[in-house]
Amino acid sequence: MLNDPARAAATVYLADAAVLGGGVAQNVAITVAADGHITSVQPGAREGARIAGLVVPGLANVHSHAFQRAMAGLAERAGPEGDNFWRWREVMYHFLSVLTPGDVQAIAAQLYVECLRHGYTSVAEFHYLHNAPDGGAYADPAEMARRIAAAAQDSGIGLALLPVLYRWGGFGGRPPSPGQRRFLLTPDAYAGLVETMAREVAVGVAPHSLRAVSPDDLRAALQVAGPARPVHIHIAEQTTEVADCLSWSGARPVQWLLDHAKVDARWCLIHATHIDAAERQGIAGSGAVAGLCQTTEANLGDGIFPLRPYLEDGGRFGVGTDSNVSTSPIEELRWLEYVRRLESRARNVSESRQGASVAASLLHRAAAGGAQALGRNAGEIAPGRLADLVVLDPAHPALVGRRGDALLDAWVFSGNSNPVRYVMVAGQWVIRDGLHPHGEAIAAAFGRCMTRLADHL
């Protein structure tokens, strides 16, 4: 049982075990200051409020479209001539035509609680639903963004809000379609939205994609980003996108971006699925993070990211829920490895060091890359970092009898039940015994929203 005394200037927790930089350590005292940062970490300690279980760093969800949580299952009908991403997108546009601001808040809050329960402690919300269904502006231009912020506040998840600049319907300034009218902002309106929300929450910038912003629009977004804000962009998700970019510019999407923007460690390139060797090496050399969303990429039939050679190049990655057909970081990591096993007909392919734990490697890389992508001072249990912590129950059937890194291997590669027992975000417990304090009320609001939507779809 977790003993959580009243927070003083600092609280010392004594974890039965914790994942530190050198592996799993026993009896770890973790001191958390009132501002939510870790001030000291001491293995082999004896005093503190006991945390019964294995403490691991919380993971950042590097890419989420929260409203799509309510779409799950709506596009799983075969078409007369097969199906693809572009048909899925038309289903999404129809779904958007009936969403209200209240719906968006209810859906996002439910999503964020589900993410917390599975071990995500923060989320990068790639937010492009700005306008009313007819494309007109709300009286408060930040109405929809504030709904996302309110959902994060209600759930307690750490939020990096990424307002999206979306201008065009395709490469070369193709006019947007009616289904895209809720996304559209002028560069000036976009800059105003980013600066407004920056006074309330942590923000980054997100030029949607090279097909949805012109080179001038991209430069405008980067000016808003300044020298410090995270920059996220969809890139090279589909082969059609690559072909269209080649036709427009003579270059592949990632290569065009590397040639025309100063891509560095602030950037997160979402998907980057269809890249050649030079592009792969260019991403790795830039210090940017590849935002990999394996369950969505599988659901949409996107393709397979070249993970093993990218890691050999020194590339960094984080994982995200994207369309939210899954809200578990473990499923994302598991399928990052499994898809490569199917592709290569080999095992343990994402880790080349003899005897090294595949799960420990994936978790370490995803935690570090995710924190970097969000610009969040987290990703490891270490002094100076935010106390974004996840506590696993070692007596859970998925983990019982395992020790050290074998606990992590069992967590990632064993079963579908959830051994996450407690979750802390910036020093505050938001999940206790697997439950969220406002979970029932949030689920009820989500249920009312889904019932209303069912009557309109």
Q: d(Cα 116, Cα 139) in Å, to the nearest integer?
A: 32
Q: d(Cα 301, Cα 24) in Å, to the nearest integer?
A: 37
| DSSP SS3 for 238 | coil
Cα four-point dihedral sign 35, 39, 44, 45: negative
Q: Which amino acid is at 78?
A: A
Q: Where are the beta strands (DSSP E) in 58-208?
A: 59-64, 120-127, 158-165, 202-203, 206-207
Q: Which residues pair with 322 in a beta bridge?
A: 64
Q: d(Cα 314, Cα 21) in Å, to the nearest integer?
A: 18
Q: Where are the beta strands (DSSP E) in 236-322?
A: 267-271, 289-292, 316-319
Burial class (CB in 10 A: 0-12, 13-18, 19+), 276: middle
Are the C-beta atoms of residues 368 and 376 closer than 8 Å to each other?
A: no
Q: From the candidates 271, 274, 364, 396, which is the catalytic residue?
A: 271
Q: Where are the beta strands (DSSP E) in 48-153?
A: 49-57, 59-64, 120-127
Are the C-beta atoms of residues 194 and 203 closer than 8 Å to each other?
A: yes
Tokens 């929450």 appear where? 201
Residue 264 is among the residues annotated as catalytic for this protein: no
Are the C-beta atoms of residues 293 and 322 closer than 8 Å to each other?
A: yes
Q: d(Cα 138, Cα 185) in Å, to the nearest integer?
A: 12
Residues across the chain: 457
- Token pair for 450: 């889904």
Tokens 């064993």 appear where? 414
Residue 140 is among the residues annotated as catalytic for this protein: no
Q: d(Cα 271, Cα 286) in Å, to the nearest integer?
A: 16
User: Distance between the two ends of the chain, CA-based, in angstroms?
Assistant: 45
Cα four-point dihedral sign 80, 209, 153, 38: positive
Residue 314 CB-half CA count within 13 A: 8
Q: Where are the beta strands (DSSP E) in 90-237?
A: 120-127, 158-165, 202-203, 206-207, 231-235
Q: Which amino acid is at 202?
A: A
The most distant pair of C-alpha atoms in the chain lies apart, rounded to whole Å, by 66
Q: From the candidates 154, 322, 388, 405, which is the catalytic residue?
A: 322
Catalytic residues: 271, 322
